Amino acid sequence: MTAEIKDDALFVERDTTVEELKEYVRRRASNPIIVGDNIVWNFSCYDVSERQLRRDLQNSRHTEYVIPFQVGGIWPQMFHLLPRRLKHAEVLVYHNQENEYRAYRQFLRDIPNEEEEEFRYQISMAVRNIGDNILTGDSE
């Protein structure tokens, strides 16, 4: 399957603005693809074959999926803007060689909020300590 680039694709350049990014996310979040009982939010710039999705999701255990933006450095910025519901959806990735979409588990929904906050705190302390050690010359 050769995927076509969608008419509303976002081409990220050096001069791309936050407003352009937000508008793209808003547009894509507001227009999911409904395939049977499944909802697929496509944040990729590529068209998605509903027939292909129907085939690949027919035995799915989940009902909500997100297709990430294809540029790894931009997707985390988009992901950060998403509401919790979309952050907890399964991740759907197209595999060219097998000509199929595969769902990947979204681990975020399995982490209790308190545990997530504690983990973030621990990481922030580790990062702060690295910065402090570098500035003071106390690296081990």
pLDDT value at position 139? 53
User: Model's pTM, two decimal places?
Assistant: 0.80
Q: Return the domain boundaries, the chain.
A: 1-105, 109-140
pLDDT at 134: 65
pLDDT in tens, 58-72: 888 899 999 999 888
What is the CA 133 to chain-centroid distance, rounded? 34
Q: What is the pLDDT of residue 111?
A: 83
**b/e sequence 47-70, b meaning 16+ C-beta within 10 Å:** ebbeebbeebbeebebebbbbbbe
* Strands 100-104, 38-42: pairing kind: unpaired
> Within the chain, which residues score under 50 in pLDDT?
none
Q: In the prediction, which pLDDT does 2 show?
A: 53
pLDDT at 24: 93
Residues 8, 34: Cα–Cα separation, whole Å: 19
